[in-house]
Amino acid sequence: MSLPVSLKSSNSFSIDSHCPAIYYIRHENDLLPFYGRKPEDYYILGGGTNILLMSEISRPVIKVEIKGREVIHDEGDQIVIRVGGGENWHAIVEWTLQQGFYGLENLSLIPGTVGAAPVQNIGAYGVELQEVFVRCEAVHIPDGKMISINKEGAKMAYRDSIFKHELRGKVLITYVHLKLSKKPNIRVSYGDISKVLESKKILNPSPAEVSEAVISIRRSKLPDPAVLGNAGSFFKNILTDSLTHQKLLEKFPDLPSFPADHGKVKIPSAWLIEKLGWKGFREGDAGCHKDQALVLVNYGNATGIEIWNLAQRIMRSVHEHFGLKLECEVNIWN
């Protein structure tokens, strides 16, 4: 009988968990042993930056390591790139900037792999992946078929997609196609990007300078997982309707908010959590980061269960006080 395989170095929370085996997928054919299997028979692992391991894992783990980056269409000002699902996301952002391809600069330094990006519909500083997403190539594991899913089929929404619902665990994304531009479209109105650029006396920023600003902001707000175990933002921001928003403003006049798509209003979950005193809270080795209330951290030897228990306490607190339900960005493995 083979010994369990440690997953501690494969998850950014640094949870000391184990699984029966890890299968490294560097080509579609490496998935052959799993054809015909059901999603509950395995876990699919990308960069391990958006998961919380609750306990020992009884299923084998499929780790995506498919590489590759190429331009497949050059349409004048627009180009389409094809990128392997196992590529590091930020490394691809840097590569596109070096090539003079723009559109990903606001998504700099988001942890994880390219294959995981459509699942989460990653977004930051006013930009979401769905704006540049064309399609992805994938393997439908239960029947072993190669499939292609376009933007409409991916059903992307705020931190959401079909890969979290109907196709959850059923497909492994092998390649992602993105449409970028050779002409910069500078977007600095969201968050502190403009402030950072102004502090450097940069009035007409390049995409590379926008990327550098985003990187500096993220590093100032988010702890390095190599130093302090975490998965970035643990909770999503809250989307609510305008009527609920108005009622909340009557009770909490200082409540910050931003307009969102389809007439919705986005409420920063970090503000709600901080308002209730959770920012900087620590119990044992599980805590809420001192500088960013959305980030739960492992100070050393916390278990996934301990971090999850803290998350549930924060969620109950927000619901009881504000009547709002926090949703997790992080995927829970149990």
Q: What is the CA radius of gyration of the chain?
A: 20
* H helices present in the chain, as ranges: 89-99, 117-120, 151-154, 193-199, 207-221, 242-251, 269-275, 304-322
Reported as a single tens digit per residue, the pLDDT across 115-140 is: 999 999 999 999 999 999 999 999 99
Tokens at residue 15, please?
């949870």
Q: Under the phi-then-psi rule, with left for phi > 0, alpha for psi from -120 to 50, and beta for the rest, what region is 287?
A: beta
Reported as a single tens digit per residue, the pLDDT across 39-83 is: 999 999 999 999 999 988 999 999 999 999 999 999 889 999 999
Predicted local confidence at residue 102, as pLDDT: 98
**Catalytic position from the list 159, 161, 209, 212:** 159
- What is the pLDDT confidence band of residue 212, given thresholds at 50, 70 and 90? very high
Q: Does residue 261 carry a pLDDT above 90?
A: no
Tokens at residue 242, please?
């305008």
- Could you confirm whether 233 is annotated as catalytic? yes
Mean pLDDT of the chain: 94
Predicted local confidence at residue 3, as pLDDT: 73
Could you give the CA distance from residue 75 to residue 21 in angstroms, rounded to a whole number? 44
Judge: domain 229-333, CATH 3.40.50.2000.
no
CB-facing half-sphere around the CA of 52: CA atoms within 13 A: 27
| Cα–Cα nearest to 237, from 209, 207, 260 | 260
Residue recorded with tokens 């699902």: 85
CATH architecture observed for domain 69-181: 2-Layer Sandwich (3.30)
| Domain coordinates in residue numbering, the chain | 5-64, 69-181, 229-333
- Could you confirm whether 2 is annotated as catalytic? no
- Could you confirm whether 6 is annotated as catalytic? no
Strands (E), 152-304: 171-181, 229-233, 238-240, 258-259, 265-267, 282-283, 286-288, 295-298
Predicted local confidence at residue 191, as pLDDT: 75
For the entire predicted model, the pTM comes to 0.88
Predicted local confidence at residue 196, as pLDDT: 94
Q: Which CATH number fits domain 5-64: 1.10.10.10, 3.40.47.10, 3.40.50.300, 3.30.43.10?
A: 3.30.43.10
